Amino acid sequence: MNLILFGPPGAGKGTQAERLHDAYGLAKLSSGDMLRSPGTLNNLARTYMQRGDLVPDDLIIAIIRGRLNQKDCARGFILDGFPRTAPQAEALDGMLKEIRKSLSYVIELKVDDRQLIERIAGRFTCAKCGAVYHDSFHKLKTEGACDACGGTQFSRREDDKVETVARRLESYHRQTAPLLPYYKGKGVLQTIDGMASIEEVTAKINAIVSSGSNKNAAKNS
Ligand code: ADP
Ligand code: ADP
Ligand code: ZN
Closest residue CA from atom 6 of ligand 2: 32
pLDDT digit string (tens) for 131-141? Answer: 999 999 999 99
Q: How far is the CA of 215 from the centre of ligand 3 (A)?
A: 38
pLDDT score at 219: 47
137 lines ligand 1 (CB under 6 A): yes
Task: Report the alpha-carbon distance of residue 58 to residue 48 in Å, rounded.
Answer: 14
The β-bridge relationship of strands 105-110 and 132-134 is unpaired
Which residues lie with the beta carbon below 6 Å from any ligand 2 atom?
Answer: 9-10, 13, 31-32, 35, 48-49, 52-55, 60, 81-82, 84, 88, 159, 168
Write the pLDDT tens digit of every residue in 191-216.
999 999 999 999 999 999 998 766 55
pLDDT given at position 39: 75
Is residue 4 a contact partner of residue 68, using CB atoms and an 8 Å limit?
Answer: no
**Can you say how many angstroms the Cα of residue 63 is from the centroid of all Cα atoms in its chain?**
15
Q: Render the burial of 25-49: b for 16+ CB within 10 Å, e for the rest.
A: ebbbbbbbebbbeeeeebeebeeeb
Q: Does 123 sit in the ligand 1 pocket, CB within 6 Å?
A: yes
Average pLDDT over residues 34-60: 88
Alpha-carbon distance 180 to 40, whole Å? 33
Closest ligand (CA of 172): 2
DSSP state of 76: -
As a whole number of angstroms, the distance between CA 102 and CA 220 comes to 7
Task: Tell me which amino acid residue 58 is.
Answer: D
* pTM of the entire predicted model: 0.94
Q: Is 199 exposed, middle or buried (0-12, 13-18, 19+ CB in 10 A)?
A: exposed
